[in-house]
């Protein structure tokens, strides 16, 4: 009963979409298990760049069924737009055919976006994710299964609108929710998606019992986990392995493999402590930003950049028990004279080897680095050529010795084998460990 999980091992934006896209052809199901359209997965295949916020990255494989899991909060308007864009690109309308929405998933309404706009501290995406999760915890939110039951119940919808307006007034938002408009929106959601709303947990359990492969897609990263991340500068859901099966509606015994995706350096979007942060105006930090095109897929905001933080990576490994690491954007570091890895912090004169639970303490941490030799910059065609040569049996050994040493050190520090290395944005710009889980045939896009 095999299920595999792909998770972000840092503060998000690590390149999970590409890894999922590569694994999807060998999976019968791809499932998003948490988050909402505050996440963004980018897939580059040939001349096509896909930017998805709700649709699972496995959509690129036509034989892979798709699930928006019960642990998600879903904005129906964003989902509708993504589905229309997919139909324009491919001619396919997967909803109800191979795309299914968990009836237990929570619905993001205009109220949630308005309420989220009042945030001035955390630096959220403003997409209504946190308020939707809050309503779910307070047991006043709407799930997809509830919509059909609410239609025609004007008094209940009126009560909902009054509650929403009271809350908007409390946080200083002047907009108001009209009960009739809210009722019309619920009718539209029901008519638009009723053919795709299913009891997806039992569907996945049946598939696993038949021996089908299920790929569980994470959003954001381990350091943004609401419980284990750099609170309060975190997302509103549990991003780690423990929630992968729960947010899909199946039990954790199904998981066989868990892959952590980490950049060869570190980035972060939004506010919050970032011990290895570098300047975006000069030096290695600027190179990471410019060469790595470090802008958020969802927000468009510049990502903060820094050297690889092995303290955070080890924290992520402790939480998730990775069976393999995928190191992305290695090519971005080409041309730097030296590379650094943060192996511990100095906090108030004391060396610490773990992430402090307090963001205030973490903000005072200074990185303790070890230095490694850099490697020459190479063009995209050169990296693709190395990747092609690696598929003839050489695997990661096809890389230059300086790069292999850097990767070996990451393996040594984390205790996790590197199973794939990204050397460019394209699907084919990857180098897998020989005989490993990513040592699979990579093809041009067929969508």
Identify whether the C-beta of residue 53 lies closer than 8 Å to the C-beta of residue 74: no
CA–CA distance, 6 with 216 (Å, rounded to integer): 6
Q: Are strands 366-373 and 338-347 parallel, antiparallel or unpaired?
A: antiparallel
397 is catalytic: no
Identify whether the C-beta of residue 246 lies closer than 8 Å to the C-beta of residue 31: no
Instruction: Considering the candidates 21, 41, 254, 426, report the single residue annotated as catalytic.
Output: 41
Q: Are strands 266-268 and 304-306 parallel, antiparallel or unpaired?
A: antiparallel
Instruction: Considering the candidates 13, 75, 135, 309, report the single residue annotated as catalytic.
Output: 13
Identify whether the C-beta of residue 312 lies closer than 8 Å to the C-beta of residue 353: no
53 is catalytic: no
Total count of residues recorded for the chain: 447
Q: How far is CA 7 from CA 19, 54, 242, 262, 406, in A?
A: 10, 16, 11, 9, 22
Cα 415 to chain centroid distance, Å, stands at: 23
Place of tokens 């509708």: 80
CA–CA distance, 65 with 203 (Å, rounded to integer): 11
Write the DSSP assignment of 57-97 as a string of letters: GGGGSTT-EEEE-TTBEE-HHHHHHHHHHHHHHHS---BTT
Catalytic amino acids? Answer: 13, 41
């Amino acid at each position: 009963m095999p299920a595999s999980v792909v998770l972000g091992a840092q503060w998000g934006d690590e390149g999970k979409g590409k890894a999922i896209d590569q694994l999807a052809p060998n999976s019968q199901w791809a499932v998003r298990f948490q988050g909402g359209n505050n996440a963004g997965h980018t897939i580059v295949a040939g001349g096509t760049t896909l930017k998805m916020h709700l649709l699972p990255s496995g959509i690129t494989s036509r034989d892979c069924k798709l699930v928006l899991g019960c642990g998600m909060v879903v904005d129906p308007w964003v989902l509708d737009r993504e589905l229309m864009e997919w139909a324009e690109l491919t001619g396919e309308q997967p909803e109800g055919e191979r795309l299914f929405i968990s009836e237990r998933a929570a619905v993001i309404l205009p109220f949630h976006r308005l309420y989220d706009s009042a945030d001035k501290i955390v630096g959220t995406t403003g997409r209504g994710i946190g308020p939707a999760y809050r309503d779910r915890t307070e047991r006043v939110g709407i799930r997809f299964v509830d919509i059909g039951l609410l239609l025609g119940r004007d008094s209940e919808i009126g009560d909902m609108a009054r509650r929403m307006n009271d809350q908007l007034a409390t946080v200083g938002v002047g907009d108001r929710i009209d009960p009739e408009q809210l009722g019309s929106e619920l009718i539209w959601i029901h008519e638009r998606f009723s053919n795709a709303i299913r009891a997806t947990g039992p569907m996945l359990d049946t598939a696993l019992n038949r021996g089908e492969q299920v790929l569980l897609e994470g959003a954001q990263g381990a350091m943004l986990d609401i419980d284990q991340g750099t609170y309060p500068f975190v997302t509103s859901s549990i991003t780690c392995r423990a929630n992968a099966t729960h947010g899909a509606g199946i039990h954790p015994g199904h998981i066989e493999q868990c892959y952590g995706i980490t950049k060869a350096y570190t980035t972060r979007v939004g506010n919050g402590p970032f011990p290895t942060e570098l300047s975006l105006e000069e030096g290695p930090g600027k190179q990471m930003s410019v060469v790595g095109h470090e802008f958020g897929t969802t927000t468009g905001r510049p990502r903060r950049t820094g050297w690889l933080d092995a303290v955070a990576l080890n924290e992520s490994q402790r939480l998730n028990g990775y069976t393999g690491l995928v190191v992305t954007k290695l090519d971005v570091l080409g041309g730097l004279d030296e590379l650094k890895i943060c192996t511990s912090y100095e906090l108030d004169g004391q060396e610490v080897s773990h992430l402090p639970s307090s963001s205030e303490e973490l903000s005072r941490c200074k990185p303790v680095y070890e230095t490694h030799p850099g490697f020459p910059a190479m063009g995209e065609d050169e990296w693709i050529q190395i990747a092609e040569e690696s598929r003839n049996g050489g695997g990661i050994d096809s890389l230059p010795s300086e790069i292999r040493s850097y990767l070996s050190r990451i393996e040594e520090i984390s205790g996790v084998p590197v199973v794939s290395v990204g050397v460019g944005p394209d699907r084919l710009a990857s180098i897998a460990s020989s005989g490993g889980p990513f040592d699979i045939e990579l093809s041009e896009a067929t969508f």
